[in-house]
Amino acid sequence: MHVDVLVIGSGPSGQQAALQARRAGRSVVVVEKDSTVGGACVHRGTIPSKTLRETAVYLAGLPKRTAGNVEAALDERTRLESLMSRLDHVVASHTDSIAATMARAGVQVCRGRARFVSPHAVEVTQVRGKVEQWTADVIVVAAGSRPRAPEGIPVDHEHVLDSDSVLAMVYLPRSLTVLGGGVIASEYASIFACLGVATTIVDKAPRPLAFLDHELSEAFVQRFDNYPGCRYLGGQQIEGVSWEGIGRVATRLAGGTEVVSEKVLCALGRVPNLEALDVAAAGLRANARGFLEVDPYGRTSVPHIYAVGDVVGPPALASSALAQGRRAVCHALSLAQRSDEGAIPTGIYTVPEMAAIGLTEAQARETHADVRVGRASFAEVARGHISAGTDGLLKLVVDGGGGILGAHILGEGATELIHLAQLAMAGGQNVDVFVDNVFNFPTLAEAYRVAAERLVDAAHSAPV
Amino acid sequence: MSSEVGSIAPAPEGLVPEELSEALIARLRAGDLDLPLLPSVATEVLELARRADADAARLAEVLQRDQALAGHVMRLANSASYAARVPIVSLPQAISRLGLTALRDMVVAVAVRGKVFHVPGCNDVVAPMWRHALATAYWAREIARARRSNVEAAFLCGLLHDVGSPVVLQAILDVQCRRSVLYARPVIEYAILHFHGVFGGTLVAGWNMPPAVSDAILYHHDYSALERPSESVLLTHLADKMAAWMGLHDGYPRPPETEATIAAAQVIEDLNIYPDEVAQLFGLRERIAAWVAEVEE
């Protein structure tokens, strides 16, 4: 069987690649090894953790929002699944929606495991063992990733869990050690901390989420350390993890420190799902870190094979994966692409949420001579007080002419708020746009106005 | 999801006499069943295992009140599975070695065996049921592990999936006694097959088990009634087949399981297990047989 475009994987990047190709009138097949479409993002990652997060945030916010009249303490017998009772519904609705969108667009989905047999041919083994072969003019590898299991850390999905198994715990643990300081580690650590679990993050970096503007990651650590029994241990070398019985897993650190907890979550990165694909048969080779090397359009060293999403490494976020999938197919099919595609926002579903777009302050200072920063605290807008979320902050980074270089937000609603900055940047607006336009009142979006006014006022008062 | 006593269908009349079906349904509806409670020591251990201040010494103190339970803990801690480098000689040492999860699993296993899989005069029927339940628990645990899913709930679901069977058997014996009738063994087996899910669901409703356990009990033989069966139900269904394939039968009339029937089963597709992964599971047979034997000793 032959198609114009064959996509391996149906996560966010695979979906976008397939839909973009269909919009261009090409025949498309998506090979998906799971029984439903959506990828790890839907079934084991983004959607399940966000569902738990929603409950955690709601419960934690109750006492504040009700002035202490309603307490929502969870006892130690709380079943984890009871906190995610909507999960099945959320996942089913989302996968149904993806499947319907793909079907409407005319994307054929072939369930099975893909394996390259040549640069243009892919063998698909179905779950019953039946094998069929597909050939395609363009192949997009969007096979996703799975949690890395580093040597010396015995992930048994019982005492030592990974991000696939952590949400299948029966009960909330009393204590948890999270290994790693990336997005997944920080998200789960803050969610469990918010649920009252004594959580310790251990990582080699001095601060977590090092790719973020330092003010955001420092504010995150400050808020995380404020949860009872929670702390961030940065600059640590993990020497080993061992289960020592009686609800005790010991994490040994260089220097002799030992962190003991009931469970450990190992979130020390992810590895791409490439082994079973036999990419060598297509003339491809993974780099030293196990990822496929690609150019800015997602093209690999074999010109008609593209790679997108987690198989190409960081940032490995759903938002960037969506853009990569679309960009790859546009390039492969010589479709018109916006030259000013714009920056892609980063959303991190920690508690509190964080979001960013464009350059951090440090990056801006490396590339621009004149960099100005405007800040606003959510305590400066009425909505922050109404929603008991005054500990949020918004930071705008602009150039000397007021051009927006980046925006960084910490606080509830950050992942939605960031889109205002995204559109302003995409439209080439400068920071005045947040002063000249009236936002609804009371909203958190007003924080943009506060930060922008500071920048504008400072510019006007600057010596000529 | 919980069992709905009002909606129980009678067993097919050709297989189970109508009066027996009616008598069993009536007893269930009337709550006229001898539903065993977990022994107090087991309940206390389970409770302690969840507490922040649980420690081996306190658990040992409680366990010592039930010598059979304490004996099992010692045996298991010294078994090959836990690979003790030095012999475990004390209960606190044994508990520390096992850990809370294994201890809790074992306490439930031993308690269920003693209180539920115990029908006087019927050991020849009940003992195989118990071995089947134990094997199903181990299979469920290992299938869950292979799927990168958490293993805690899987073990419990497997262990308790047929917990209704001995309760149905006891109820049939009571009916026989009250009505002075004797049912042929195939009749009893079909009655157990038909009613054990709903009886088991009723039994564990009083045990404060996770909902996944009730679903596994109710739907492990036929999950087609569920629009989207949970992973626990699917795991238990497959684990039940694997245990039967080992020759550890549950005592119901059922077709034999072979590698071919399991590989062809719908649950393999529903759990999305590929042929090489199925083959890896078959490779666990000896290990699981050894674990069952260890607990059986």
Give pLDDT tens digits for B16-31. Answer: 888 888 888 888 887 7
Structure tokens at B210: 């996770």
- DSSP states of A109-154 as a string? EEESEEEEEETTEEEEE-TTS-EEEEEEEEEEE---EEE---TT--
What confidence category does residue A86 fall into, taking pLDDT thresholds of 50, 70 and 90? confident
DSSP A249: E
How far from B50 is each of A72, B37, B44, CA to CA, in Å?
Answer: 20, 19, 10
pLDDT confidence tier of residue B85, bands split at 50, 70 and 90: low
Query: In sequence order, what are the residues at sequence separation of 6 or more whose Cβ sits closer than 8 angstroms to the Cβ of residue B10?
Result: B16, B18, B21, B22, B25
| Residue A260 CB-density burial (10 A; 0-12 exposed, 13-18 middle, 19+ buried) | middle
Is the per-residue pLDDT at A306 higher than 90?
yes
Query: Does the pLDDT value for residue B1 go beyond 60?
Result: no
Say what the ipTM of the complex is. Answer: 0.75
CB contact under 8 A, A158 and B150: yes
Please indicate whether residue A291 or residue A340 has the higher confidence score (pLDDT). A291
Please report, to the nearest 10 degrees, the dihedral formed by the alpha carbons of residues B143, B145, B151, B154 taken in order: -10
Report which listed range, A120-124, A316-320, B5-9, B38-42, is most confident. A120-124
Give A-chain residues touching B273 at CB under 8 angstroms. 127
**Beta A113-118 vs A354-358: how paired, if at all?**
unpaired
Within an 8 Å CB–CB cutoff, is residue B53 touching chain A? Answer: no
CA distance A354 to A210: 13
Number of residues in chain A: 464
Chain A hits for B269, CB-CB cut-off 8 Å, are 35, 127-128
Helix or strand or coil: residue B83?
A: coil
Residues A79, B210: C-beta atoms closer than 8 Å: yes
Whole-number Cα distances in Å, B263 to A44, A381, B270, B272: 26, 62, 12, 11
A2/A5 Cα distance (integer angstroms): 9
The answer to whether the Cβ–Cβ distance between B54 and A165 falls below 8 Å is no
Reply yes or no on whether the pLDDT at B54 is more than 70.
no
Residue B176: both structure tokens together: 């026989």
Cβ neighbours of B256 (radius 10 Å): 9
Whether B101 and A157 lie within 8 Å, measured CB to CB: no
Higher per-residue confidence, B157 vs B64: B157
- Local confidence band at B51 (pLDDT 50, 70, 90 cut-offs): low
Which of A127, A146, A168 is the closest to B274 by Cβ? A127
* Confidence (pTM): 0.80
H/E element, B260 = helix B259-264
CA distance B127 to B118: 8
Omega prior to B229 cis, within 30 of 0? no
User: What is the C-alpha to C-alpha distance for residues B159 and B236, in angstroms, rounded to an integer?
Assistant: 9
| Residue B167 scores a pLDDT above 80 | yes
Does the structure show a pLDDT above 90 at A186? yes
A–B interface: beta-carbon pairs under 8 A: 90
Q: Please judge whether A164 and B228 are an interchain contact, meaning their C-beta atoms are less than 8 angstroms apart.
A: no
* B69 contact partners, CB below 8 Å, separation of at least 6: B39, B41, B42, B45, B63, B107, B110, B111
Q: Which amino acid belongs to residue B244?
A: A
Only one residue has tokens 């987690």, namely A310
Element (H, E) at A193: helix A183-194
Q: What is the largest CA-CA distance in chain B?
A: 59
As a whole number of angstroms, the distance between CA A242 and CA A441 comes to 53
